Amino acid sequence: MTDYGRPLQFGMFPTPDADRVDAILDLVRMADEEGLDLVGIQDHPYQKRFLDTWSLMAVVLARTTRIRVFPDVASLPLRPPAVMAKAAASLDVISGGRFELAVGAGAFWQAIGAMGGPERTPGEAAGALTEALDVIRLMWSGEKSVRYDGAHYQLSGVHPGPRPAHDIGLWLGVGGPRMLGVLGREADGWVPSVSYFPPPVLPGLHARIDESATAAGRDPAAIQRIYNVFGAITDGPSGGFLNGPVQQWVDELTGLVLESGMDTFVFGAEGDDPHQHRKWAVEVVPAVREAVARHRDMPK
């Protein structure tokens, strides 16, 4: 696996705990002020201690000025894609083009079912996500009216709008071969998490995306690769991968760019520790940018 040469981006992954609203907003303001690129907020509507992700994203956009926000990743079974598309476009318009959309096929099916959502098989979930991409793009199309007749979703002459303020990135949080193929053909980005997809498995997954993209006439480098990373930035010796001092983080993230094909990193700290997030923003991120730029400038 090699470097795709894409611009680096960095973000944070605050937990949407309902009893920590002020702390969440303090974190995102810090991220905005320190020049981070993204805030990703997990979407688990059935989790009783969590705020509604879409309501929180609206507040985060209102309390910041430059950082972009996305659901990491939106729960499709509980978010009908036509309504999701309208909400995404609305947030993008309101924020002046600072919203991106990442969607997942669904997980924790018993909890989804308990909330009134469909309990889909893996095949049904993949089919629904594929259809959702079509529906979302139709709802952003600016056409006078649109129709769609899928097995899971239908549009019957709906009038789409508003159009987003910018070309919203449509990213997928997927890992199976079928959906990685769909991603390569149709989506703008991939959002895996290190806890589910550790670095050794990345080359094979990239290869599936790239094969599909190339077959569809797309440049694989056009697809953003966003990695949710979790660990501890410490002052002591290494405790393993992404658990150690700043220089270890710089070396490991630089390797993930140059050797594992990732270009965007969204960091989550235990307990949303603000000191960890500041170390990330102030010490780790600038050093990774510098290290990658230095390696990319070296003669080949």
| Cα-based torsion angle of the residue sequence 26, 31, 33, 36 in order, rounded to the nearest 10 degrees | -170
**pLDDT-derived band of residue 1, with 50, 70 and 90 as boundaries?**
low
Checking if the pLDDT of 300 tops 90, the result is: no
Q: Quote the pTM value.
A: 0.96
Over residues 237-288, the pLDDT tens digits come to 999 999 999 999 999 999 999 999 999 999 999 999 999 999 999 999 999 9
User: Domain limits of the chain?
Assistant: 9-297
- CA 88 to chain CA centroid, nearest Å: 14
Checking if the pLDDT of 164 tops 70, the result is: yes
Give residue for tokens 């805030």: 39
Exposed / middle / buried, residue 74 (Cβ in 10 Å: 0-12, 13-18, 19+): buried
Question: What gap in Å lies between CA 33 and CA 26, rounded to an integer?
Answer: 11
Q: What is the pLDDT of residue 122?
A: 94
Does the domain at 9-297 match CATH 1.20.1540.10? Answer given as no
Phi, psi of 264 (to 5 degrees): -135, 135
What share of the chain in percent tops pLDDT 90? 98
Over residues 188-217, the pLDDT tens digits come to 999 999 999 999 999 999 999 999 999 999
Exposed / middle / buried, residue 26 (Cβ in 10 Å: 0-12, 13-18, 19+): middle
Mean pLDDT rounded to a whole number for the chain: 97
Over residues 114-135, the pLDDT tens digits come to 999 999 999 999 999 999 999 9
Q: What is the pLDDT of residue 2?
A: 83
